[in-house]
Amino acid sequence: MKRLSVTPKAMEVIQLLEEKFGNLMFYQAGGCCEGTQPQCFEEGGFYLRTGDVCIGEIKEYKFWIDKDLFEYWQYSHFELDVTDGFGPGGFSLETPFGKTFKVNYRLFTDEEINALPEVIRWE
């Protein structure tokens, strides 16, 4: 059981970004500017806060979320998807390509919750 998955459409955009920028990282904040839109950066292009949570990887690229947001969404599966258009933040690497990452959520079942691996927290 995993906390994170990715749609084929989003994977196509990730491969494009990987070819252009190299290693990537993902971060989903709960802040004011970017709302809760997932952001894609070059690896190391975003500074994590103590306690931020890695909920999984897409390819070998870590997907981090804000520690406070994780407390709210910890019982949900994240599916990274992409849509056409510009998101509210505009800081993410896919923005110049006219794409915006988004997350589809669903609640885990009780059985799935019991099978989840431990998360990694940034120290």
Q: What local confidence, expressed as pLDDT, does residue 31 receive?
A: 67
Displacement of CA 49 from its chain's centroid (Å):
15
Q: What local confidence, expressed as pLDDT, does residue 32 receive?
A: 62
Q: What local confidence, expressed as pLDDT, does residue 110 receive?
A: 95
Q: What local confidence, expressed as pLDDT, does residue 30 receive?
A: 76
Q: What local confidence, expressed as pLDDT, does residue 9 receive?
A: 98
Q: What is the pLDDT of residues 48-68, one digit of tens each?
A: 999 999 999 999 999 999 999
Residues 6+ apart with CB under 8 A from 98: 84, 85, 86
Mean pLDDT in consecutive groups of 10 residues from the start of the chain, 123 residues: 97 98 94 73 94 96 95 95 83 93 95 94 94
Rounded CA gap, 52 and 70, in Å? 8
Evaluate whether 28 touches 64 at the Cβ level (below 8 Å).
yes
Q: What local confidence, expressed as pLDDT, does residue 102 receive?
A: 93
Rounded CA gap, 5 and 1, in Å? 10
- Predicted TM-score (pTM) of this structure: 0.93
